Structure 1
Amino acid sequence: MEILSILTLFFIFLLTLLFLSSLWRQQKRSHVLPPGPTPVPLLGTPNYLTRDGIVRYYPEFHKKYGKMFTVWQMADPVVVLCGYETVKDALINHAEQFSDRPEYPVIDSYTKGFTFVSANDHWPQFRRYILTTLRNIGVGKQTLEEKSQKEAEQLVQAMSEMGGKPFNPSHLLGCAVSNIIGAVLFGQQLDYRDKKLLDLITNIRKHVSNVLSMKHQICNMFPFLLKLPYLGQIIMKNSLYLVDYVREQLDFHKETLDIAAPPRDFIDHFLLKIKEESRKEGTKFHELSLTMYSSGLLIAGVDTTTSTLKFCVTVIAHLPHIQAKVQREIDDVTGSQRPPGMSDRAQMPYTNAVIHELQRHLDLAPAALFHALREDTEFHGYTFPKGTRILPYLSSVLFDPSQWETPDEFNPGHFLDEKGQFRAKPAFMVFSAGKRECLGVSLARMEIFLFFSALLQKFSLCPTTGAQMDMKSLRFNKDEIIKSWEIRAIPRSSHAA
C-alpha cells in the first residue's frame, strides 16, 4: 500500500508539473501570437481543430479576432489565416515560407515521408516530377479527354438503367472517377460491378474518414500509442489496403514493362525513372516512393472529385430553373448526340459558371491541411518562428464579402463578366493555392465538367420529394447530401439536334 501511495503521489506531482509547464509555455508564447480562444493547459483547444469544430466555431472567431487567430494543438500554437487577402498573401506572395508541413506520425509511420502531407526536403523534386509525368501521360490533353468521354458514356448508360427511380448516385460517380485515375496510374478501367473496384472505393472512403477522425488526431499527438499491440494495424487498416493495392499493380508492371515501348501509365514512367536514377547515390526514386506517391494520387484522385460531383448533381436537382438554363446552353452547343468536350467549355460559360458556383457552396475543405513555416517569418505585424503551424481557413475565402457580390447566395454571375463570358476568380480556392495546391487540379476540373455536362445533356435530375430546398439548407446538409441523398435521373426527350 505504501508503494502504491508513493506512486500515486509521484503521478500527481508529474501531472502538476506538466500542467504548470504547459501553462507557462502557452502564456509565454501567447504574447507574440495573434489572439484566440483560451487554451486548456496540456490539452490546448482540441475541439477547435476537428472538421466539425472548424465549421461550427471559425466563423465566430473570424468575426471576433479578424484576419488571424490562434488555436492550440496541445502546447503547440496553430495560426489560422482568414479572408482572401491574408490567405493569398501567405500561400502565394510568401509561398516558399509557408510551403512546409508539420509531421503526421500516423501517416509517416507507413509512408516514411513519401506523401503529399509530410514534411521533407525532397517534396519539391517529386512535385515537379509528378506534374511533368501527369502531363506526359495526357492530363490536359486530348487522349485522356477521349477516355473521360467514353467513361461519361458508361456513366450515362449506368444511370439510364435506374429507370428514373430514386437512387444514390455516389457509387456510380465513384466508379467513373476511379476509372479515370486508374487509367492514369495503372492503365486500367474496370466494370462498375467489379468487386475489386467496389472494394477500392470503399477503402478510399474509409481511409479519408479515418484521417479526419479524432482517433487519428490523438495518435498524431501521442505517437507512442502506435506502438501498442494491434492499434496501429486497426487505425491504418484501410490505408494499408490501398498500399497493397498499388503494390499489386507495381508487381504486374514490373513483370510486363517493355523498356523499348512508350510508357503505358504513371507506374511505367516511374519505373523507368527508377532505372535511370539507380546509379545515383542517395536517390529518392525507388519502389517505396513510387508506391506511396501512387497511393496518394489514387486517394486524392477519387474521394474529392466523387464528393464534388455528388454534391453538384444533387443540388442542381433542387435548382430546376438553373438546370434548365444549363441544358439549353448544352443543347445549343453540342446538340443531343455529340457528347460535350473540353473544347466546348469556352462556348458554355454559364455551365462552367454554375459548376464553379456549386463548388464554392460545397466548400468541401473548410480549411486546408496544416502548413508549416520553413523559416522565421514576419507576417502582418507578427514574427512567427520556423515550424509554426499554419491553417488556411478556406471557407473565409470562398465567402469573403470583399470578393463575392452576394457571398451567401447561389449566383453563377460571380463567374460571368458583363458580356456573359466566364471569368476566373482568384478567390476560388477550392483546391487551395500556391506550392501546396492540389496536384490533380486540371484532371479534377476536366472530370467534373465532362461528367456533369454529359449527365445534364441526357437527363433531367430531380429530387426524390416535391419539396424544394433553399441554398442555405442544402449547404447546411452537404455531408448528408454527399453520403446518402438520392435523386432521380429522368431521360430527356429528343431535344436540339
Structure 2
Amino acid sequence: MLSLLVTLLITFHFFISWWRHHRRYRSLPPGPTPLPFLGTPKYMNMQKADKSYASLSQKYGPIFTIWMLSEPMVVLCGYETVRDALVNHAEEFSARPIIPTLDFPTNGYNVNGPRWRNIRRFIISSLRTIGMGKKTMESRVLEEATYVNQLVSEMEGKPFNPMLILSCAVGNIMSSVLFGEHFDYKDPKFHDLMMRTSRHLRAILTPLYMICNIFPFLLKLPILPNIIFKEQFYLQKFVLKYIEEHKRTLNPEAPRDFIDHYLLKTKEVEHEEDPDFCVSSLPYTVVGLLSAGSETTASTLKFILVFIAHYPDVQVKVQKEIDEVTQSLRPPTFEDRAQMPYTHAVIHEIQRILDLVSTAFFHSVTKDVQLHGYTIPKGTTIIPFLTSVLYDPSQWETPEQFNPEHFLDGEGQFRNRGAFMPFSAGKRVCAGENLARMMLFLLFSALLQKFTLKLPPGAEPHESKWLYANKNEIIMNTELCAIPRTLATK
C-alpha cells in the first residue's frame, strides 16, 4: 500500500511538472519533438549548426525551437527575422543566457544588466579615445602592414602559410591598443601567445565545453577547470603582468592604452559599494578583447587572401584600382575606401561568403516577448543564425555565388547592405567592428599593392562553394605564393 502511494505521488509530481512546463512553453515556435530529459541532442552540435539549422528552417520556417535537456532554445533564421529581433526589438533581445563555461572563469562578471551596459559603453568609448577609426589607429595598422610586407617579401615567391604572420600583425595591433606592447614577429613567445589565443577561442565549440554547459556541476571537480580553462588561465596570468606594471607607471594625465583607461576608471568609482569596474575583472576583460579581436580578424584575412588567389581576374581588377588611387607612390589609407569601391566590395563579398561564425553569440530575452505570432518567455535562449542572413535569397541576387556586385550600385559605387551581418547586429554587435574593418581593408590592400597572390604549383583553382566548404582547412593550413609586383609610378 505504501509503495503504491509513493508511486502515485511520484507520478503526480512528474505530471504536474510536465503540465507546468508545457503550459509555460506552449506558445513557443514549432520544432523537432524533444526527447524526455534529453531535449534534441541531434541539433546541439554547434560545429555543424549551419547544416542542421538550415535543414530545420526548411521544415519549420524562419523561427523554430530546439531543446537542451528541458530548456528551449529559439533559433532565428533569415534577414527579416533576425533584424526584427535584434534591431526592432533590440532591448528585449539584448540579454545573455547563463553559460557555465563563461561564468566560471569570470565569476559571472559583466554578462548582463546595467553592469554589462556600463562596461560595454566604457569599452567602446575607450577604444574611440585610443584612436579606433582615427588617424592614430590607422598609423598603427599601416605600421604593421609594412612589417607584413617585409616578411612576405622574404618568402621570395615560394609557397608559405601566411596565417602566423597575419596573426602576429593583428595580435600586435590589439596588443598596442590593450596594453601598449609591440612584439617581434619572430619571437617564439609571441608565437606561443597567438597560438594560445587561437586555442582559447576555438575551445568554446568543443564537446567538453558543451558537456560542462549541460552539466555545470562538473566544473566543481578539482581537476577539470584547469584542463578546460588552461589557455584562458594562462592568458589571464599573462595579462596580469602588464596590469601590475601599468599600476606602477600609471600617469592619470596621459593614459597610454586600454589598461590605463580601465585603471583610471576603477579609481573613479572605488568609493561605490559595488562598482561595475574593479581591477579583479580587468584580466578577463582584456583577454576577451584580445581573443575575439585577434583570432577572428586574422582568420578572415587569411581566407580573403586565399580566396582572391582563386580568382586572378578579380585580383587584377583590385590591383588596378589600388594603383590608380595611390599612383603607386604611397600605401592605401582608410579614406581611400571611397575611391576604391571595387576593392571595398570584394572584401565584403568574400567576408559574406566566408561566414566565419555561423551563429551569433547566444542571446536571451529580458521579458516575455511577441515575435512573429509566438510568445517567447523571459529568459529563453535565442540563437541568431547568421549564415541564413548572409545567404538569404531574398536579400542577395546570387547568394551561393561569389559576386562583388552585391555591394556595388548601378554606378559602380560601394553600397552597404543591411543583410551583411558578420559582426551580428543590435545592442550586442561586435564592439570592435570598426577596428576589424580597418585592419581588413588596410592589410589586404597593402599586400595586393606589393604582391600578386597565386596558388602553389600544382594546386587547382576552385569556386566559392568549395572554398566555403573547406574554410577551416584553408584558414589553418593552406599555402600561398606571393609574387612581388613591378610597380610603375605615374
Q: Normalization by structure 2: what TM-score?
A: 0.95
| Partners of 1:22 and 1:75 within 8 A in 2 | no
Correspondence for 2:175: 182
| Partners of 1:372 and 1:388 within 8 A in 2 | yes
Correspondence for 2:436: 444
Q: Against the structure 1 CA distance between its residues 216 and 16, is the aligned structure 2 distance closer, same or farther, given a 3 Å change threshold? A: farther
1:490 to 479, 483, 488: 483
Q: Normalization by structure 1: what TM-score?
A: 0.93
Listed one character per residue, the Cα deviations across residues 54-86 of structure 1 (whole Å, up to 9, x for unaligned) are: 122111111111110111111101000111011
Structure 1 residue 355 displacement after superposition: 0.1
2:83 to 78, 84, 88: 88
Distance in 1, Cα, partners of 2:103 & 2:355: 28
1:276 to 268, 283, 287: 268
Correspondence for 1:428: 420
| Partners of 1:19 and 1:41 within 8 A in 2 | no
**Quick check: 1:67 aligned with 2:62?**
yes
Distance in 2, Cα, partners of 1:327 & 1:414: 20
**Quick check: 1:55 aligned with 2:47?**
no
2:386 to 387, 394, 411: 394
Whichever residue aligns with residue 26 of structure 2, its letter is H
Whichever residue aligns with residue 96 of structure 1, its letter is E
**Quick check: 1:152 aligned with 2:116?**
no
Distance in 2, Cα, partners of 1:278 & 1:368: 34
Q: Against the structure 1 CA distance between its residues 26 and 482, is the aligned structure 2 distance closer, same or farther, given a 3 Å change threshold? A: farther
Correspondence for 2:451: 459
1:333 to 322, 325, 328: 325
Distance in 2, Cα, partners of 1:425 & 1:88: 12
Distance in 2, Cα, partners of 1:322 & 1:344: 19
Distance in 2, Cα, partners of 1:174 & 1:208: 13
Correspondence for 2:4: none
Distance in 1, Cα, partners of 2:214 & 2:114: 23
Distance in 2, Cα, partners of 1:41 & 1:267: 48
| Partners of 2:201 and 2:292 within 8 A in 1 | no
**1:122 match: secondary structure:** helix
**Quick check: 1:105 aligned with 2:112?**
no
Distance in 2, Cα, partners of 1:237 & 1:156: 34
Aligned pairs, how many? 483
Distance in 2, Cα, partners of 1:17 & 1:357: 57
**2:160 match: secondary structure:** coil
Distance in 2, Cα, partners of 1:191 & 1:490: 24
Correspondence for 1:3: none
Using the TM superposition, name which of 63-72 and 344-353 deviates more.
Answer: 63-72
Structure 1 residue 273 displacement after superposition: 1.0
Q: Identity of counterpart residues, as a percentage?
A: 53
**Quick check: 1:200 aligned with 2:193?**
yes
Distance in 2, Cα, partners of 1:375 & 1:320: 51
Structure 1 residue 46 displacement after superposition: 2.6
Distance in 1, Cα, partners of 2:42 & 2:24: 21
Q: Against the structure 1 CA distance between its residues 18 and 238, is the aligned structure 2 distance closer, same or farther, given a 3 Å change threshold? A: farther
Using the TM superposition, name which of 268-277 and 321-330 deviates more.
Answer: 268-277
Consecutive unaligned residues of structure 2, counting only runs of 5 or more, are: 1-7
**Quick check: 1:409 aligned with 2:401?**
yes
| Partners of 1:114 and 1:293 within 8 A in 2 | no
Correspondence for 2:203: 210
Q: Against the structure 1 CA distance between its residues 495 and 20, is the aligned structure 2 distance closer, same or farther, given a 3 Å change threshold? A: farther
Correspondence for 2:306: 314
Distance in 2, Cα, partners of 1:17 & 1:476: 50
Listed one character per residue, the Cα deviations across residues 80-107 of structure 1 (whole Å, up to 9, x for unaligned) are: 0111011001000000000000111122
Structure 1 residue 16 displacement after superposition: 10
| Partners of 2:329 and 2:489 within 8 A in 1 | no
| Partners of 2:342 and 2:404 within 8 A in 1 | yes
Structure 1 residue 444 displacement after superposition: 0.2
Using the TM superposition, name which of 225-234 and 350-359 deviates more.
Answer: 225-234
2:463 to 470, 484, 490: 470
Whichever residue aligns with residue 61 of structure 2, its letter is G
Structure 1 residue 384 displacement after superposition: 1.3
| Partners of 1:113 and 1:120 within 8 A in 2 | no
| Partners of 1:415 and 1:424 within 8 A in 2 | yes
The residue correspondences of 1:362-401 to structure 2 (distance < 5 A) are 362-401=354-393
Q: Against the structure 1 CA distance between its residues 407 and 17, is the aligned structure 2 distance closer, same or farther, given a 3 Å change threshold? A: farther
| Partners of 2:24 and 2:377 within 8 A in 1 | no
Whichever residue aligns with residue 44 of structure 1, its letter is G
Listed one character per residue, the Cα deviations across residues 29-76 of structure 1 (whole Å, up to 9, x for unaligned) are: 563211112222222123312233312211111111111011111110
**Quick check: 1:295 aligned with 2:284?**
no
Structure 1 residue 28 displacement after superposition: 5.2
Correspondence for 2:215: 222
Consecutive unaligned residues of structure 1, counting only runs of 5 or more, are: 1-12
Listed one character per residue, the Cα deviations across residues 361-382 of structure 1 (whole Å, up to 9, x for unaligned) are: 0001111111000011111111
**1:185 match: secondary structure:** helix
**Quick check: 1:285 aligned with 2:280?**
no
Using the TM superposition, name which of 278-287 and 396-405 deviates more.
Answer: 278-287
Using the TM superposition, name which of 50-59 and 446-455 deviates more.
Answer: 50-59
Correspondence for 1:139: 132
Structure 1 residue 297 displacement after superposition: 0.7
Whichever residue aligns with residue 367 of structure 2, its letter is E
- The RMSD of aligned alpha carbons is 2.1
Distance in 2, Cα, partners of 1:302 & 1:19: 49
Q: Against the structure 1 CA distance between its residues 462 and 442, is the aligned structure 2 distance closer, same or farther, given a 3 Å change threshold? A: same
Correspondence for 1:349: 341
Q: Against the structure 1 CA distance between its residues 29 and 253, is the aligned structure 2 distance closer, same or farther, given a 3 Å change threshold? A: same
Following TM superposition, the consecutive aligned residue runs of length 4 or more in structure 1 with deviations greater than 3 angstroms are 15-31
Distance in 2, Cα, partners of 1:225 & 1:17: 31
Q: Against the structure 1 CA distance between its residues 21 and 359, is the aligned structure 2 distance closer, same or farther, given a 3 Å change threshold? A: farther
